[in-house]
Amino acid sequence: METYLKLLENNKKWAKGKLKNQPEFFTEISKTQEPEFMWIGCCDSRVPANQIIGLLPGEIFVHRNVANIVSHGDLNCLSALQYAVDVLKVRHIIVCGHYDCGGVCAVEQNLRLGIVDNWLRYIHDIKREHSKELQALNDQDRKNRLCELNVLTQVRNVCESTIMRDAWASGQEVAVHGWIYRLSDGILHELSPVQHALKKT
Ligand code: CO
């Protein structure tokens, strides 16, 4: 059987299993979505948001791009963020990076990959900004640290967006978290203190 046909078969089994346990599951979920969480993560196939934090469909609003970048010029990410905050009223935004991120490592090693190099320029800027700290580390630690610095930078970018500024100014309770995932043991780590308002810089 073609592998893609297997996926359609898996889906039928999954939907059937859901109905067996919760006959109203799809009827209920098709009415509305009220997720408490938003996830901004990397496209990497090994970091699927719902699965690694044990959430069901409907429980987390997900935006993923290469290397979990939040750019002030990226309408795709900003649109998702605005919808999550203004319309869905999520309570938590989780920016989640991961160690051994291909995008971050490509920047660290100055690799040329193609179109994506232009997207990854944002991480080159982070590398330059923290060059002193990074240069003092060995190869593996430097890659790991750049993955962490990327998450911290993207947390700041979320906090500094007009969307979060306006939400916080109006008293909306929404927290921003910076997490990083380790592929080798499947564990998430909190990197940044939880942000409840724009930090004075
Ligand atoms: Co990645």
Beta bridge partners of 60: 37
Spacing, Cα 102 to ligand 1 middle (Å):
5
What is the per-residue pLDDT across 80-107, written as a single tens digit (0 to 9) for each? 999 999 999 999 999 999 999 999 999 9
Task: Identify the active-site residue in 63, 77, 96, 101.
Answer: 101
**Given this model, what pLDDT does residue 1 score?**
74
pTM: 0.95
Spacing, Cα 28 to ligand 1 middle (Å):
34
Count the neighbouring beta carbons within 10 Å of the beta carbon of residue 92: 17
Annotation says 147 is catalytic: no
Order of strands, sheet of 60-65, starting from the edge strand that comes earlier in the sequence: 60-65, 37-42, 92-98, 175-182, 187-190
The token pair that represents 84 in the structure block: 């999550």
- The DSSP line for 42-61 is E--TT--HHHHTT--TTSEE
Q: What does the alpha-carbon distance between residue 109 and residue 131 come to, in Å, rounded to a whole number?
A: 13
**Given this model, what pLDDT does residue 199 score?**
66
Structural domains present in the chain = 1-31 (no CATH), 34-190 (3.40.1050.10)
**Given this model, what pLDDT does residue 197 score?**
84
Spacing, Cα 161 to ligand 1 middle (Å):
23
Annotation says 86 is catalytic: no
Annotation says 42 is catalytic: yes
